[in-house]
Amino acid sequence: MNWLNWRRTALMAMGAGVLAAALVSAMGAAARARRERAESDAPVASAGRLYFLDTHDRQVMSANPDGSKVQVIAATAGMPDGIAVDVAAGQVYWTNMATWSPTVRFGAGSLQRADLNGSHVTTVVPSGGTFRPKQMTIDLKDGKLYWSDREGMRVMRSNLDGSDVETLVETGQRVEGQRGDPKDYCVGIALDVARGEMYWTQRGGRSDDGSIRRASMNLPKGEDPAHRTDIQVLFDHMPEPVDLALDLKTRTMYWTSDGGDGPGADTVSRAPMDPPLGSAGTFDPAHRNDQHILATGLNGGIGISLDLKRGRMFFTDLGGNVYSANLNGSDEKTLLSDMGSLTGITYVASE
């Protein structure tokens, strides 16, 4: 079993715990050396900037969209997973799936923020305000952070300063000391703010019981997060979907897969946001035939972000790679490799 498979098994079997902590420390020096090589005389940057997370060395990083000019922005308080940037404010936000302290090696997760130059690192939602936060996004219109809480089995949001934390969806009830059902693990998150809708993934286990769902960004009147009637299952029986990205103009959703079985495992895929309806005006989310696999052979696919102006997408995997490709999957390139263990990524266009 290689180190990546060992990491996956440890994360799923025991919430990472001591094994994940050991892995983080064991691989650090080699990853830093590889990163220094990648930072050497790279070509002049193309437009925009990539921001991504290394859960191996627990840090926020950035690079040009061609893979040049790699920089470490900030150290994180734990295992970073989801990332989002507020360009106007010059700030980057990220989730920590778990936090470290001198006494607790795998504590409840948190959300942090820093200026884009790495200064003013601030804890926005402290450990305990959420449990295992994964991917995240920002609603700048209403000043809200949205994130999925995996073992917490929730979709959550707060104000940009971390106040007014809310649970919007609750897919299962967390019991201390138990991990719950993986099909209830909320992982990816994306927003269609104009329509007031949020999309999220529920990861599932190795039996291909993951799903993609959507609902209103606000709770229906008189309902609670555990008993919402507006949740629509768009895809079902999937191999571990993780991160999501939306092209709202073409009404297309893109997602990554980490593991599972079958042709959709360890891939990047896309499909219409609005499923095709049959003659009876319904559809079967477990048997949609409009999914298109765009990239295969990922080493644990995690983050994805779109450059819609240039028709490119960027995605990462736990094997330490950053990739780019056209939105139809052609012209795939490996921009960075052996960069630790990469999770969330976001692309920010230059004005």
In tens, the pLDDT along 154-195 reads 999 999 999 999 999 999 987 776 678 899 999 999 999 999
pTM, to two decimals: 0.87
Q: Percentage of residues in the chain with pLDDT exceeding 70? A: 83
For the chain, the domain total comes to 1
Domain encompassing residue 162: 3-348
In tens, the pLDDT along 92-141 reads 999 999 887 666 666 789 999 999 999 999 999 999 899 999 999 999 99
The gap from C-alpha 72 to its chain's centroid, in whole angstroms, comes to 19
pLDDT at 29: 43
For 267-288, what is the mean pLDDT? 89
Tell me, what CATH number does 8's domain have? Answer: 2.120.10.30
pLDDT at 20: 40
SS3 readout for the chain: CCHHHHHHHHHHHHCCHHHHHHHHHHCHHHHHHHHHHHCCCCCCCCCCEEEEEECCCCEEEEECCCCCCCEEEEECCEEEEEEEEECCCCEEEEEEEEECCCCCCCECCEEEEEECCCCCCEEEECCCCCCCEEEEEEECCCCEEEEEECCCCEEEEEECCCCCCEEEEECCCCCCCCCCCHHHCEEEEEEEHHHCEEEEEECCCCCCCEEEEEEECCCCCCCCCCCCCCCEEEEEEECCEEEEEEECCCCEEEEEECCCCCCCCCCEEEEECCCCCCCCCCCCCCCCCCCEEEECCCCCEEEEEEECCCCEEEEEECCCEEEEEECCCCCCEEEECCCCCEEEEEEECCC
pLDDT band at 294 (very low <50, low <70, confident <90, very high): very high
Least confident of 21-30, 198-207, 327-336: 21-30
- Residue with the larger pLDDT of the pair 241 and 259: 241
